[in-house]
Amino acid sequence: MAELLLKVQKREKLADQLYGQILEQIVSGNLGEGTKLPSENEICASFGVSRPVVREALRKLQSDGLVYARQGVGSFVKKRPPQGLIEFGGVNDVAGLLRCFEARLAIEGATARMAAERASVRHHRDIENALSRLENSVAAGDIADKADFDFHMAIARASGNEIFLTILNSLHGVMQKSMNVALNITRAGSAERAKRVLAEHRQIYDAILGRDGESAELMMRYHLHQARQRLTDHAREM
């Protein structure tokens, strides 16, 4: 199985690079919204990759909401992500950043709910400390990716299940990178947008403090969903 895994990862690696190249053309405006992408055959030829790699890349662009397919016709550009996604994220890493949100939605929905049900007073204080640092940094115009990561880790710790902590630690690199990109884009955006980002974090904290597990899960999922949208949707100002 080890060998199979390796092969899969190699194909995925190529697909992610292709994903990045196509994304770059969408972000630059080279491929405008509504434009039809070249056919699978044409993409195979121009990038020198096999058809499974092309399909994988297109499927990922689709599940990331950047491209849509019309049965029997082809793939079309759905929306143009902000410039900063490539500028701060890097062409080859963007696919991984977006995939990370999908995994976090499942994991952190659970950590937020459990934190609401089980957090001690000390856990509350740790979460609040990270939140304060995040608020101060954003107010000062700094990139607070460390405080953002600490906020999410403090919630995972409050869940009382150390396996979640191990998992988030193993995602440390890609999580903090995506936070860095998101906060860079936020800083370049409106004041209202920065306010929204902070309000989302505070809503999560309030639900945990109020010991309302269902709300905490809902607020965390909403936050991660919006964070992901802010990365991919140029027009989005919320």
Site for its own copies contains 105 (CB under 8 A): yes
**Span 19-48, contacts to its own copies by CB under 8 A:** none
CB 127 within 8 A of CB 151: yes
Q: Who contacts 39 (Cβ-Cβ below 8 Å, separation ≥6)?
A: 74
We find the least distance from the C-beta atom of residue 157 to its own copies, in angstroms, to be 7
Q: Would you say 43 or 219 has its CB closer to its own copies?
A: 219
The tokens describing 124, both together, are 């509350």
SS3 42: helix
**Span 48-87, contacts to its own copies by CB under 8 A:** 59-60, 63, 65, 71-72
Q: Residue from 47, 90, 91, 118 that binds its own copies (CB under 8 A)? A: 118
What is the x/- site pattern for its own copies, positions 179-218, by CB under 8 A? --------------------x---x------x-x--x--x
CB 65 within 8 A of CB 102: no
SS3 69: strand
Residues 125, 150: Cα–Cα separation, whole Å: 12
Pick the stretch among 24-32, 33-41, 161-169, 177-185 that binds its own copies (CB under 8 A): 161-169
SS3 70: strand
- Locate all alpha helices (DSSP H) within 64-143, ordered by sequence: 84-89, 94-118, 121-139
Contact positions vs its own copies (CB under 8 A)? 1, 5, 8-9, 12, 59-60, 63, 65, 71-72, 96, 99-100, 102-103, 105-107, 109-110, 114, 118, 150, 153, 157, 160-167, 170-171, 174, 199, 203, 210, 212, 215, 218-219, 221-222, 225, 238
